[in-house]
Amino acid sequence: MSPPPPARTRRVDLVGLRRALPADVSVALDGYQRHLAMERSLSPHTVRAYLADVVSLLVHLAAGTAADATVEAIDLAGLRSWLAAQHSAGASRTTLARRAAAARTFTAWASRAGLLADDPGLRLAAPRPHRTLPAVLRADQARAAMSAAEVSAERGDPVALRDQAVVELLYATGVRVAELCGLDLDDIDYSQRVIRVLGKGRRERTVPFGVPAERAVRRWVEHGRSALVSDRSQGALFVGARGGRLDPRTARRVVHDVVGAVPETADIGPHGLRHTAATHLLEGGADLRTVQELLGHATLATTQLYTHVTVERLKAIHDRTHPRS
């Protein structure tokens, strides 16, 4: 019996699949989950994704029957077979690379924990992902979006004040949406115009912001936040309509709505606004190391992706304006 397509495995309930696994496999996954969350400090979303990939691998090796899955069955041939099945099911190069990384992380941990005699993931190759960036706003489009948010906030509605502060701070700093939602009141220093951000891997960094973002955040804190704050706020800088810490999904909707109010703009969320900020910094003359530090990238290679965007923009402007292009 051939294993089911991995894409289907990822769509089913992870909790249900784990319940069908043998007890020793469930114990191993519990240990792996603690390793990811506590030792590697990965986000809950990343932990869930890694666990789902491992469960998909185990079910594949057990020929589709979770009850027959074992960690000991993982070998290089099985890893390659799993990725081949993913490819046949239509997984992209980026997806295959990410899932191969998840498998290697698990086999390395299982080997150290004594669950595998050796680490087959060391010999697992995967296609390099196509590293692409989402659409970004032009400088004039970004200004128009910020102006639209300011106009909405002028009526003094607390939610509108919050939304303006959210988009201004995201664009000014380029922080991730989870980082923004995790900010507390004491993480912002108005005198220095900087925020203290806790990023991936619990790495802390300091990110500056400009005068427009300062005005928007001050107005939200002084005139809007008190109308929404509750016992559930726990010092959060941004809160939701019910008083709890602002949810990243709400922040994404805010960005989509604000940017969508500007005609002929790409439909972007906070991630696109982060890339917009980085692109505009580089176009304005910032060096890669500075942008790397501001964005909280672990390696310069990630930041170097933005040079492609700026070069492509320069080429497009040249082609459009130079008489000998």
Residue 272 belongs to some domain of the structure: yes
In total, how many domains does the chain have?
Answer: 2
Residue 4 belongs to some domain of the structure: no
At 1-30, the pLDDT tens digits run 334 333 333 444 566 666 778 888 889 999
Average pLDDT for residues 182-186, to the nearest whole number?
95
For residue 200, indicate whether it is catalytic: yes
* DSSP code for 127: P
Residue 9 belongs to some domain of the structure: no
Distance CA 193, CA 210 (A): 7
Distance CA 229, CA 242 (A): 8
Q: Beta partners for 206? A: 196
* pLDDT band for position 195 (cuts 50, 70, 90): very high
Residue 131 belongs to some domain of the structure: no
For residue 297, indicate whether it is catalytic: yes
Q: Which of 69-73, 110-114, 248-252, 313-317 has the lowest mean pLDDT?
A: 313-317
Domain endpoint, select from 123, 151, 178: 123
User: Of 99, 219, 225, 297, which is the active-site residue?
Assistant: 297
- Domain match, 296 and 154 both: yes
Res 133: pLDDT: 63
For residue 274, indicate whether it is catalytic: yes
- Domain match, 64 and 210 both: no
User: Of 35, 176, 245, 275, which is the active-site residue?
Assistant: 176
- Domain match, 145 and 74 both: no
Q: Environment class of residue 261 by beta-carbon count within 10 Å: exposed (0-12), middle (13-18) or buried (19+)?
A: middle
Res 1: pLDDT: 37
| Residue 93 domain boundaries | 14-123
Q: Give backbone dihedrals phi and psi of 195, rounded to 5 degrees, phi first.
A: -120, 150
- Domain match, 212 and 285 both: yes
User: Of 80, 200, 256, 313, which is the active-site residue?
Assistant: 200
Residue 133 belongs to some domain of the structure: no
User: Of 225, 274, 275, 280, which is the active-site residue?
Assistant: 274
- Domain of 20, CATH number, reads 1.10.150.130
Q: Which of 148-152, 228-232, 253-257 has the lowest mean pLDDT?
A: 228-232
For residue 322, indicate whether it is catalytic: no
Distance CA 227, CA 224 (A): 6
Q: Identify whether the C-beta of residue 153 lies closer than 8 Å to the C-beta of residue 225.
A: no
Residue 312 belongs to some domain of the structure: yes
E strand or H helix at 194: strand 194-198
- Domain of 262, CATH number, reads 1.10.443.10
pTM of the model: 0.66
Residue 54 belongs to some domain of the structure: yes
